[in-house]
Amino acid sequence: MEKRDYYEILGIDRNADSKEIKQAYRKLALKLHPDKNPGDKEAEEQFKEASEAYGILSDNQKRQLYDNYGHAGLSGQRGFSGMDDIFSHFGDIFSDFFGGDIFGGGRHSRPPRPPRGDDLRINASITLKEAYTGTKKALELVHHQLCSLCEGSGSKPGTDPQSCGTCQGHGQVVQRTGFMTMVVPCPDCGGKGSVIVSPCKKCKGSGREPVTRKVSATVPAGVDTGMRLRLAGEGEKPKVGEPGDLYVFITVEDDDKLVRDHSDLYYELEIPFTEAITGKKATINLFDENIEFEIQKGTQPSDIITLKNMGMPVVGKNIRGDLHIDIKVLLPTDLSAEAEKAVNKLHKLLYSKDKK
Ligand SMILES: [Zn+2]
Ligand SMILES: [Zn+2]
């Protein structure tokens, strides 16, 4: 849908002064206010439209951009995301208009949500043994926060940024290509409208500085690659408001001996063919723990012995996967004459019809 002209929306002349603009908006807002038109979608849309028009035309800089380039001149500006946004924006104007409480304990006077710091992310690599037992991991977190010297302005304390000469402080410049006229962010100030003349020594004008912080993460038994742990309140700490959270992204390293499949573990065990034939008691070492089990008489190459509930723990549950012992039967390749005689004898015993 074609965007309507802001002057037309407010029903005012292009030369209207700020008082006339405010009066026009006040009239419309009184008529279209959602509390006066509950459930009326059309009124709500018109209210939003009028608020947007007022937001632009009541701001001299934005109004000038709009006068010169129309809606295209405001392409970088943010609109309102919803009603609450409008009320938090024009809250004081509403109380000015309506004497504070005309709509009954106004939603427009709701205090703004307290600011909250950014969430941060850190990667942590742990061994399969650590994933098996659970562990405490000391991590070093490097992140950026507002520069403590210039408090984020980027300017040397005591100095101020200057209005950008290229865009005269508008943050936007007009580019002409053939018949096309486009408004683009100013290349010299990056759209900020101001430039730092004396950069802060500590952050070199960026307004942010790196900080290193030690954090300790409790990694529960059973974690797997791709899981993440949330450390509440360990994210960015803003000057005012709640800190964000820190997310620890886990990678579990491969193990030399064990292969993991979700909560199951696979262990490859080589045994001589004689033991496969006769069977035996076997022991393997699983993460510094001796596990005993029985290799049955007549075990075949590639048989898998499954030990129930001896695998990986499952995070947050009191259960475990299974441990699978993958049996590899070794055959001798270099027999002594005596051993060969014995094998021949064994062969006759086992397979010849004329056993003797
Ligand atoms: Zn600084
Ligand atoms: Zn500029």
Q: What is the CATH number for 137?
A: 2.60.260.20
Closest CA to 16 of 49, 52, 48, 63: 63
Least confident of 115-119, 136-140, 252-256, 321-325: 115-119
State mean pLDDT over 256-281. 96
Check pLDDT > 80 for residue 109: no
Residue, of 153 and 128, whose pLDDT is higher: 128
Q: Are 251 and 126 in contact (CB under 8 A)?
A: yes
Q: Average pLDDT for residues 169-197, to the nearest whole number?
A: 86
Owner of token pair 């069977």:
279
Query: For 223-249, what is the mean pLDDT?
Result: 89
CA of 178 to the centre of ligand 2 (A): 23
Same domain? For 43 and 75 the reply is yes
Half-sphere exposure of 325 (CA within 13 A, CB side): 24
Ligand 1 centre to CA of 139 (Å) is: 27
- Answer whether 161's CB lies under 8 Å from 154's CB: yes
Q: Pick from 30-44, 148-162, 229-243, 300-314 the range whose average pLDDT is largest.
A: 300-314
Q: What is the CATH number of the domain that holds 82?
A: 1.10.287.110
Beta strands in the chain (DSSP E): 120-126, 135-146, 162-163, 172-177, 180-185, 194-195, 208-219, 228-231, 246-252, 258-261, 264-272, 280-286, 289-295, 304-307, 323-330
- Helices 83-98 and 18-32, interaxial angle, to 10°? 110
Give the ligand whose atoms come closest to the C-alpha of residue 198.
1
Tell me which DSSP letter residue 288 carries.
T
Instruction: Answer whether residue 148 shows pLDDT above 70.
Output: yes
Nearest ligand to the CA atom of 201: 1
d(CA 252, CA 224): 6
Assess whether 230 and 131 both reside in one domain. yes
So what's the pLDDT on residue 334?
Answer: 92
* Structural domain includes residue 247: yes
One-letter identity of residue 162 = Q
Dist. CA 70 → ligand 2 center (Å): 20
- Characterize the bridge pairing of strands 264-272 and 323-330: parallel
156 belongs to a structural domain: no
The range of the structural domain enclosing residue 326 comes to 258-346
- If asked whether residues 145 and 208 sit together in one domain, one would say yes
Same domain, 294 and 311: yes
DSSP assigned state of 339? H
- 157 domain-assigned: no
Q: Comparing 186-190, 229-233, 347-351, which segment has the lowest mean pLDDT?
A: 186-190
Give residue 1's pLDDT band: very low, low, confident or very high (50, 70, 90).
low
CA 221 to chain centre: 23
Q: Average pLDDT, stretch 148-152?
A: 89
Q: Do the domain assignments include residue 311?
A: yes
354 in a structural domain = no
| Ligand 2 geometric centre to CA of 86 (Å) | 28
Same-domain pairing of 168 and 226: no
Shared-domain flag, residues 130 and 244: yes
What's the 33 CA to ligand 1 centre distance in angstroms? 44
Ligand closest to CA 210 = 1
Distance 147 CA to ligand 1 centre (A): 5
Structural domains counted in the chain: 4
Do 301 and 341 lie in one domain? The reply is: yes
> How far, in Å, CA of 242 to CA of 75, rounded?
33
Q: Which ligand is nearest to the CA of 155?
A: 1
Range with top average pLDDT, 158-172, 275-289, 341-355:
275-289
Evaluate whether residue 87 is within a structural domain: yes
Do residue 34 and residue 90 come from a single domain?
yes
* Nearest CA among 45, 48, 41 for reference residue 25: 48
**CB 332, CB 275: distance < 8 Å:** no
- Proportion of the chain above pLDDT 90, given as a percent: 51
**Amino acid letter, 38:** P
Domain assignment present for 1: no
Residues 241 and 138 occupy one common structural domain: yes
**The whole model's pTM is what?**
0.57
Q: How far is the CA of 270 from the centre of ligand 1 (A)?
A: 63
Q: Are 16 and 7 in contact (CB under 8 A)?
A: yes
Give the containing element (helix H, strand E) for 60.
helix 60-69
Q: Tell how far the Cα of 190 is from the centroid of ligand 1, in angstroms.
A: 18
**Minimum-distance ligand to the CA of 152?**
1
Residue 351 lies in a domain: no
Span 180-205, average pLDDT? 89
Final residue before a domain boundary, out of 252, 274, 296? 252
- Look at the block and give the residue holding tokens 């970088």: 76
Same domain for 289 and 237, yes or no, is no
Closest CA to 97 of 25, 183, 18, 13: 25
At residue 175, the pLDDT reads 82
Expressed in angstroms and rounded, the spacing between residue 185 Cα and the centre of ligand 2 is 8
Please, what is the Cα angle at 355 between 350 and 356, to 5 degrees? 120
- Give the residue with greater pLDDT, 355 vs 164: 164
My answer on whether 43 and 85 are in the same domain is yes
What mean pLDDT do residues 239-246 have? 85
141 and 229 inside one domain: yes
CA of 236 relative to ligand 1 center, distance in Å: 17
